[in-house]
Structure 1
Amino acid sequence: IPAPPHRAAEAARIAERISQTRSVDQFSAFARQYSATPSRDQGGRLPWTPVEQLPPAIQPLIMALAPGEVTAPLPIPGGIALFQLRDIEETGRPRREYSAIDYAAYYIPGGRSPEALARAAEIRTQVDRCDDLYGVAKGQPEQVLSRVTKAPAEIPQDIAIELAKLDPGEVSTALTGSDGRTLVFLMLCSRTAAVNQEADRDQVVGALRQNQLQGYSDQLLEQLRADARISRQ
């Protein structure tokens, strides 16, 4: 729910009322009426999402809900967010923890104007990965593009919520910045699993040890050659 300063009190009252609902249909109606995100057209419905991809602060709130229940209003930059748990699916897969999220944000002037949305749609046809955005931003001021790698807990809540919906290479245009004057073209670059990070560290340590042992071996061989006495018959 958008909550600019002049509407903050009204948005808080609406959010409190929505948080009391236990009906999926009623929550969907509220989403269509008040939500500022593209999911409003689906009644706020989001795709199935592994819980570990949600922002760390939100994970325990979602896990504490029963199907149909709604979180308390959650303040985010420029607005208020609410989540309704619709269903839970047990996959049997081990839960993955992520140590870092790499994402890019390209800022398009015009907020959610038709021109800005058309420009975002055009850029989407030109990029398959985050590195492609450097070509889009070439020749423009440095601040139009940011590329960030952060721990999940360090990512702003509104951005983290959108990233949770994405796979690497996918894009969200649900957010705006500069008090609605810019459209945020948000792209997920990659997620680094904590186990992978540990494995990478072990690989580096192993390689250093191997290099060290190889150095000792070379030194010993040179010493043996120097000490050897060769006689010819």
Structure 2
Amino acid sequence: MKTLLHTLAVAAALFAASANAQQVQPLDRIAAVVDEDIILSSELDHAVGNILAQYATRQDQLPPRAILERQVLERLILLKLQTARAQQTGVNVSDEEVDAAISSIAQQNNFTMDQLRRQLAGDGMSFDAFRASLREELLIQRMRQRFAQTRVSVSDAEVDAALASQASGAQYRLAHILVALPEGATPEQIQTGQQKIDGIKGLIDRDEMEFSAAAVRYSDSPNALEGGDLGWRRTDEIPAAFASAITTLQPGQVIGPIRGPSGFQLLQLVDVRDGQTGGGQVTQYQARHILIRAPAGEDSEARARIDGLRARIAGGADFAEIASETSEDASSKDNGGDLGWFTQDEFGPEFGGQVAALSDGEVSAPFRTQAGWHIVQRTGSRQSSASDSNQRAQIRESIGQRKLEEEWDRYVRELRSEAYVSIRTGVDADPDVAPGASGG
């Protein structure tokens, strides 16, 4: 829900701009064509207006209008592509789930539903447009979850290594600035990027601009309009090039520039907190599972397949062999479906409830989650201290989140590079260059 609330600031505003624009101004210019969809100029104008409203008292931190329009249009393009891919791959969000998300947002902001409607109207956003934007945001979140299940795995060995290297439970609030370089960058492009990042660093070092303002104005990262905020991270989920240096910094200090796969980066330590947890006992389970995915319109076929596999296991077939041969969970099938040790809520309430209801060695009946149809064999259970379990779970989550961010960013770049995108409006201005940089 933290991610969902965060999107109200920027992402939901962009979605809402899209939904609002499609309800009004039937005679509207096209800002961009994205595969078989379009972005209207009114969508772009509304989205930019939302950003300007959010920075009403800090508009000096924003880039020039042409650069801001380019940043916002690129976000709208990526949102269109992700939403379309979610729908193509059978990701669905029910009306009840949208209603629940809206209720949660209202509660988090201490609004009644009528107050939320009035607030939206005051912001120039219809309730239907807000609802549509929220549905699209939930679609993308769900697609990311499915993506994580198939593309991201964290082994016990990785968790053990992270625990061994972690001197404390400290967590670090970070922000970054990226000056992107294209793949196969030429020496001239590299030199221009180096000059730009040096110029940005100079502004920050001379206290001529705050780090967050510099990120908004100059960063090429997708989170530029959030001031480059990366949230709270443990040392094991900080890029290796920065991890050792971060622990020696004081809040507010900046390291870099460092060149990484995407370009040149600056990283700021915003704050530090103690992330230690403790107390009590918790039950952990060890299990294997088989997953058969169920794209839209193919649920009955997936159910028939999982029923057939369950019958084979009941007839004496080895669970691990069946999992290796048939499971569609790429992160566990090579290990015979083994999920390692986990707590009941680690893989979601539906899955955890099924595992908890089994005895060690018992195999479940087929059951459905958002990911598809499952069969689970519980192979063990144990009691461990809640502090150890929580720490392992947090580390596993943080490593998985870091991997997901890297894989998802790569996936979205692939979507963008493979898509047909035709920009029809004048937002292709040259990138803004920090004072001290020579151009680019």
TMscore range, shorter length: 0.3 to 0.5
State the TM-score, normalized to the length of structure 2: 0.23
Question: Greater helix share, 1 or 2?
Answer: 2
State the TM-score, normalized to the length of structure 1: 0.40
